[in-house]
Structure 1
Amino acid sequence: MVNVREFKRACITSARLTEGRLIEFRLADDVTPNFHQGLVAYHDHTVAVVCPRDLAVLAVSKPRTIAFVDGARESGPLIFVDVPALAAALAEQPGFEVLAASELNGPLDAASWPGVSAADITYWGPVTLGEALFNYWD
């Protein structure tokens, strides 16, 4: 389990270092999704720092709604984006690995990610690494 306090600290520190502003945490406290988000606002856009509950991995994506909205929950794959300055600041935070959009949008090599359940991979059939690490599976 990822320490939520450490995730929050990494988001706040990285936002500050990149002249962004941490505006919200969206913590996954139900079965789905399996990831937390820290929303960082810049003058012209907002991005989400995402972290799976069970792996010390960080990435940057477009923000997603976690709570139910109109009886449904967003459940499609995240859209990963590259924000080089933010990724560099996140990489300076101890205890986390930062993955780029190109890695997350690339193929899943299950052997490289033993923390992802083989049964989930078989059942859900993720194609990309991002789909396997950041998902809405139940």
Structure 2
Amino acid sequence: MNLPNGVTGFYRAEGSEPPSLNGKQFKQLCFDFVSRIRGRVISISPPQYPANFYCAQVEISKELIYILLNEHYPYLTFASSVELGDIKFIDVPALHALFDSFYQVTGTAVLNTSVDQSSLLKLELNSAELEQIAYWKPETIGQIIFNHWD
């Protein structure tokens, strides 16, 4: 998976700031899609420091699910728990199919892929991001795209 410049939320002052996504659209889609499959939205939070993602907490068939959207690029995924520095990614096929027309829904097979130095060199990450990766030492692609780094 190619990770674009700024996906982590870090950049150099002299560099270009990464784009920002429309949080209003994410919120509307969450309410629409979750209600279509007879679920309910509990809460939706914008990216809150140090997190770099929007987070919707929903309940579907009595199961608590988190819908995460990267703040800068249209990468969306699902999780069973979201704790500081520890996100348990899951696949939710019913939601995947609905969100797929609007975002790049990224599943566990990709998000749980290990990160190594040789793979980092192939990505479009900027020097500030590479410094953060060296400091935080993420083990997976998912920990880079959806992070709580400060």
Give the corresponding residue for 1:24: 43
Q: Which string of whole-angstrom CA distances, capped at 9 and with x for unpartnered residues, describes residues 81-102 of structure 1?
A: 111111111113x2x2110112
2:28 pairs with 1:9: yes
User: 103-112 or 32-41, which moves further after superposition?
Assistant: 103-112
Give the corresponding residue for 1:120: 132
Higher relative contact order (CA 8 A, sep 6+): 2
Give the corresponding residue for 2:70: 52
TM-score (norm 1): 0.79
Name the CA distance, whole Å, in 1 between partners of 2:59 and 2:124: 31
Q: Indicate the SS of the match to 1:32.
A: coil
Give the corresponding residue for 2:61: 43
| Matched length | 126
Give the corresponding residue for 1:69: none
Structure 2 unaligned segments of length 5 or more: list them. 1-19
Report the Cα offset of residue 45 of structure 1.
Answer: 0.5
Q: Which string of whole-angstrom CA distances, capped at 9 and with x for unpartnered residues, describes residues 18-37 of structure 1?
A: 222122112223x2112211
Rg: which structure is higher? 2
Structure 1 unaligned segments of length 5 or more: list them. 65-73
Code of the aligned partner of 1:23? I
TM-score (norm 2): 0.74
Q: Indicate the SS of the match to 2:89.
A: coil
Shift in CA distance, 101/114, structure 1 to aligned 2, threshold 3 Å: same
Give the corresponding residue for 1:62: 80
